[in-house]
Amino acid sequence: MSDSAAKSGLKIQVSRSQKQLLSTFSGLFILGVVFSILSPYFFSVNNLLTVATQTAVIAIIAIGQTYVLITGGIDLSIGSNIALSAMVAGLVMRAQLPVPLAICAGLVTGAISGAVGGILVAIANIPPFIATLGTMTIARGLALTLTQAIPISGLPKSFTVLGTGSTLGIPNPVIVMVLLVVVFGFILAKTKLGRHVYATGSNFEAARLSGVNTKKVLITVYVFSGLLAAFAGLIMAARIISAQPAGGDGYELDAVASSVIGGTSTMGGEGTAAGTFIGAFVIGVLRNGLNLIGVSPFIQKIVIGIVIVASVFLDRMRKKD
């Protein structure tokens, strides 16, 4: 391929990403306007901070899911990793060990769980859906077994400030979310690893023949997904001041929805951290707005399900074009 053709292709790709970002942001803006009309409380500072805090967990796990989706896979174990990481950290704190050690234990647990899924996909050649379905069940079982399904409460204040405190008026979960989005967005967009992630998802065999260590790339993206799920689990435990073995149930769907709404292709090769970040806020605003106008949680599931299906359908249509 000539340099001019490569540059032309890059311009088209950039243009497509920018159009997707604009489209997702427009959808978020329209949702904001609609809910502002339907509920005068929606556009208050307190509610906007609540939306940002509630969206923090979804955005963090969605970034990990975005990495996996770009390689053409899917991580169904995110919700279980949230629970397992929080339970391990809770057990360490209950043993009166230092909070930083508990946080590290939780993060390492999430990374190891993700690595297991990645090895099953990359080395054992098990389809991602099946591999992460298995690790999802194992991680959930471990979380329930550790304390016989009993939550760990009474977590120290030096830990719960992570989820309940604020810095300069900004909730700490929001600060953690922004930092993680920036770091993992930079890795995806500006580093060699990020380019290899896109290459692996665009054409696995071509990437392998070009010298990309595709197995290493696959394992790395699942480690990232598990690590980010652990961050989310720690924030969630800190917010509710207890580690719940059933925590994070169903969150993998929110992660997929946020990624797809933000422009990540379920067929691999496309997606950005910025798009996923906005997509997470679409889910957060949708859920918050429906709550404010009194829509039942059961109806909310239907609405969000429709949004997911519509987003995937539009993604397929874009691919055909």
In total, the chain counts a number of residues equal to: 321
C-alpha dihedral sign at 203, 25, 60, 177:
positive
Using DSSP bridges, classify how beta strands 242-243 and 152-153 pair: parallel, antiparallel or unpaired: antiparallel
Structure confidence at residue 22 (pLDDT): 85
Structure confidence at residue 3 (pLDDT): 46
User: Which stretches of the chain drop beneath a pLDDT of 50?
Assistant: 1-3, 5-10
Cβ–Cβ under 8 Å, residues 232 and 57: yes
CATH numbers and ranges of domains, the chain: 44-315 (1.10.3470)
In the chain, the amino acid numbered 218 is: L
Q: Which two tokens stand for residue 310?
A: 């519509």
Structure confidence at residue 15 (pLDDT): 63
Structure confidence at residue 263 (pLDDT): 86
